[in-house]
Structure 1
Amino acid sequence: MTERGVVRRILARAAANTEELRPQDVCQACVKGLDVQGAALTLIATIGETRMGPTLASSDPVAARLEELQFTLGEGPALQAYETGEPVLVEDLQQVPYTPWPMFTEAVRDHLSGVGALFVFPLQLGAVRLGTLSLYRTEAGRIGAEVLGEALLAAEAVTLTMSGYLMADPPNTVADRWFEQASDRRVVVYQATGMLMQQLGVGVSEAFVRLRARAFADDRPVADLAQEVLDGKLHLNNNSSPEE
């Protein structure tokens, strides 16, 4: 049974400084209060023509994998929600005949058959875009009006809380702890992207696209290949193919 309003109550307590909010708290509160099986909180930023950012927290490995797939493939409902500033509500990822993200949809069907529906909400304050809040269900179906309203209010509350942490002057030490909890795998990708920029003589967008293309071709997480680049085990040439 879901507990209505639980997400907002947790964030309200954090705003009143009665307790420090953690990204993991947000995800767990969403699972508890929004009639979903999993949640993920991701920061997104535009670097060149590329959307990049760390997943701050996820409630479970499936939620984390959904974010990883979109990061690797460069497409998906989270990136669409971030770009448009509008929620993206996918009622049936397994059966819907068409989506704007064919590679992501195919990957979910191949590797995450237990994901039925996916609902993504942008975290946006005016013109400032911070990231997304993603929720998934194991069963397909529409999100009810009551839960949708709760989710929208939760996303707004998360946005206000995050912006308060990230934009505080002087800098808020809570924000540092939020980033410390972000996935180290994304940091590895950023470092490998920088190394490829030097090796290939290309910009950040092109370097990341080539790394991502290799990951897609090998059907592997982009972070795994990034680690191999940093370890000197994988060298990409100007055709994005590995050098022997």
Structure 2
Amino acid sequence: MTKFNEMTKFRVLTIMIFTTILISCNSEKSKNNLDKENLNQKEIESDTLTKHLKPFKSELPTIGLLMYNGVLQSEVIATSDVFAKPTESGKQIFNVITIAETEKPITTEEGIKILPDFTFENCPKLTALFVPSAYDMYAQVHNEKIVNFIKEKNKETEYVVSNCAGAQLIGKSGIADGHKIVTWIGGGEQLQKDYPNLKVQNDSLVTFVEDGKFSSSNGNLASYISALNLLEKMTSSEHKKFVESYLYLDRIQNWKN
């Protein structure tokens, strides 16, 4: 009887060990399959993302988009919309970067968060600097770091563009004294009082103005005008027309209620 019990115990033990090994192997196999699936998914996601990313190429002209909390996102998006478009053959012709005082995400007036590419400290050399606006410019105009950044970048840039109340930062910096400038509709009178050395244009009549290396617009969607004007100067009228068609601007211009 004892021998029978021992044999029974041995068989049960053998079955348990075999079952444990089998379950372990299946679990490991499932884990490996899951890992492979996750890896393949990551590769797919990576390919989808990297296909659209435009690398920074030091040999290309660099367009810098200044940002700060409360910025009107349309004035950042408009410029990136225009300059990030490739040629008709698909060739990248500009670096388009965002710049802020710190590496922290910028929250736009509309609530969208944007992570800047560079800070004031590590910003590369710029060909053009675009200065956008906010509904309340007090904090920006009284921020010496922002004003000094504009002053320093003006020394190396070929073009400086302001949109809407970004003109206040241009006025504060003094870089465009003696030059024509326009701001948001209704803001010209105060701009002229605050910065008498600027030649402020009548914003009720003027949407965009260019004077030397400086240009400006009323802002918001009019920011496309300042961007497209500079794009044509830096490329050609043919490329400008291609970008306009890419953006369906003709549909907007011809749209009726």
TM > 0.5 = no
TM range (shorter): under 0.3
Structure ranking higher on relative contact order (CA contacts 8 Å, 6+ apart): 1
Output the TM-score relative to the length of structure 2: 0.23
Q: Calculate the TM-score normalised by the size of structure 1.
A: 0.23
